[in-house]
Chains A and B, each alone.
Chain A
Amino acid sequence: MLASLRPPARVRRALIALALGLAMAAIFVADTMTEYAVAAAVFHTAVILVAVRWFSPRAVVALALACIALTVVSFGLTPAGLYSVGLVNTGISILAIGITAYLGLKMVAAQAAAHAAQARLLQIARATSLGALTGSIAHEVNQPLAAIVTSGHACQRWLAQQPPQLEKAGQALQRILADAERASNVVTRIRGMARGEAPRRQRFDLEEAARDMVALSRGALDARGIAVRWDAAPGLPPAWADRVQVQQIVGNLLLNAIDAIDTAGPGGVPEIILSLRRPGPEQLELCVTDSGIGLDPAVQAHLFDAFWSTKSQGMGLGLTLCRSMAEAHGGRVWAAPRADGRRGASFHVSLPALRDNAA
């Protein structure tokens, strides 16, 4: 089910430009051959509507002007009909072309803004929750540490006195031990938190859930011209997992893939491949492969460490959380270089599936 065997964007765009040119020529001929009463020129609006989706605003404006010019020329060449009717029809056609181009461009701009806002939202949701989390963890652990250090200094000073104040020093040591235990409790609590609440399992279509996340990242993908390919094995069973958590995992892997492609810079075809297979009867595996910078062995060793990141703005928790969420399902997350030998990395997630497909 290789859903995208489409030609690259540049070739597609050239083909569309050719088709539009032919359509404009046909409309021009029809407009000229028929009499004034037939306003064939309004069909130029269809050309504009197609162009808005594929070409830059400047090109669309140029195309609209060309359509208007053709309409005027055709008006001059048309041999038959009532002149006044022709004049009115030509005016209507020109207005229609102009308004269509204006509204079309407005719509595209609004769509782009919506995509950008969506992408930002996704990033912000990720960054702020993690930022707040790390801030409060740092504070929680730092308080007992500060108390331990200060009590340690106090203890030293009690011991250095002549004669040494052993009782006071002992009390300080007691406080140190209590605070150390408190710090350790904080760490235990964080571990429990990272494991998260027990996943709320439900049956759902893994591909559909993943497609939702791709749609959410659409703005970021389109802005970089990243092609998304799907490679799903046929007849996959539904997943048996917490849909929201799985989508968080997929979303994280997608953002990482986009970042990796950004870091790699231009050169090569930017693409992300999502493949789905069934390695065992009760198992599903989702794989996100990118054409990014790939995995340095030194990087690979730390990928899943908490607070470790290759990104300057990164919190270093994305993959850590992905892994703990997958493990809460009895699944796994792991990384590997691309299997086809090209530059890039593959991130695999294994998840439980329902055995009985018909259930």
Chain B
Amino acid sequence: MNGARVYVIDDDASVRAAIEDLLASVGLAAQGFGSTAAFLAHWRQADGSGDGTPACLVLDIRMPGQSGLEFQRQMQDLGMALPVVFITGHGDIPMSVQAMKGGAIEFLTKPFRDQDLLDAIQLGLGRDRDRRAQAQAQALLRARWDSLSPGEQAVVRGVAAGRLNKQIAADLGVSEITVKVRRAQAMRKMQVRTLAELLRVADPFCGTYTAPP
């Protein structure tokens, strides 16, 4: 379970210490914070989304200052896609409904079973890992696409729209040979072997193709 980080936000120091120790006993690195503000300051300073480590947040609901549920909303506004496991002293149904609607992994009532917390954290870390992998793949493809020249991008768009080489050549006012050369270049730069593969990975960038009249 290397390379995972669990943040614990609870205003109660001994609850925090106990959870950190429990996580340490299963080899999970945990970092505790006494308030959402302290956590946010740390997150901004370390630019938490920057490094690729999957992370998960264990969040107390009832805290002086900002409550856990309010922080969940703020995280959405800030675009923080960190999975959240809620823990609370006395959870009522409306509270848990709100938490789950906000995308929480789990809603645990204190005192909770250790296995329940660990399962929820593993689920959260797994989701964060998937999300990060997806985002990373997306970023890589974007970088490859950006390395294509405008002419090459135009050819790929034409291919994606189902136009023949001849038609694309006419659309762009170049020779059919040029179209074929650009298409081959694009496939090399996008690191794909078949035309079908090129269409699949390039599709998100193509948009709608409008052939000139």
A residues at B contact (CB < 8 Å): 135, 138-139, 142-151, 153-154, 157-158, 161, 165, 168, 171-172, 175, 178-179, 182
CB distance from A179 to the nearest CB of B (A): 5
CB distance from A141 to the nearest CB of B (A): 9
A interface majority secondary structure: helix
Q: Of A149, A165, A179, which is in contact with the most chain B CB atoms at under 10 Å from its CB?
A: A149
- B17 adjacent to A147 (CB under 8 Å): yes
A151–B21 Cα distance when bound, in Å, is: 7
CB distance from A56 to the nearest CB of B (A): 43
In the complex, chain A residues whose CB is within 8 Å of the CB of B25: 154, 157-158, 161, 165, 168
B residues at A contact (CB < 8 Å): 12, 14-15, 17-19, 21-22, 24-26, 62, 87, 89-90, 110-114, 117
In the complex, chain B residues whose CB is within 8 Å of the CB of A142: 89-90, 110-111
CB distance from A152 to the nearest CB of B (A): 9
A150 contact from B22, B26, B62, Cβ within 8 A: B22
B21 contact from A143, A148, A149, A172, Cβ within 8 A: A172
CB distance from A22 to the nearest CB of B (A): 63
- A143 adjacent to B12 (CB under 8 Å): yes
A147 contact from B15, B26, B114, Cβ within 8 A: B15
A168–B12 Cα distance when bound, in Å, is: 21
**Residue of B with least CB distance to A138:** B90
CB distance from B110 to the nearest CB of A (A): 4
A171–B17 Cα distance when bound, in Å, is: 11
In the complex, chain A residues whose CB is within 8 Å of the CB of B112: 146, 149-150
In the complex, chain A residues whose CB is within 8 Å of the CB of B22: 150-151, 153-154, 157
**Residue of B with least CB distance to A146:** B110
CB distance from A169 to the nearest CB of B (A): 9
In the complex, chain A residues whose CB is within 8 Å of the CB of B110: 142-143, 145-146
- B89 adjacent to A146 (CB under 8 Å): yes
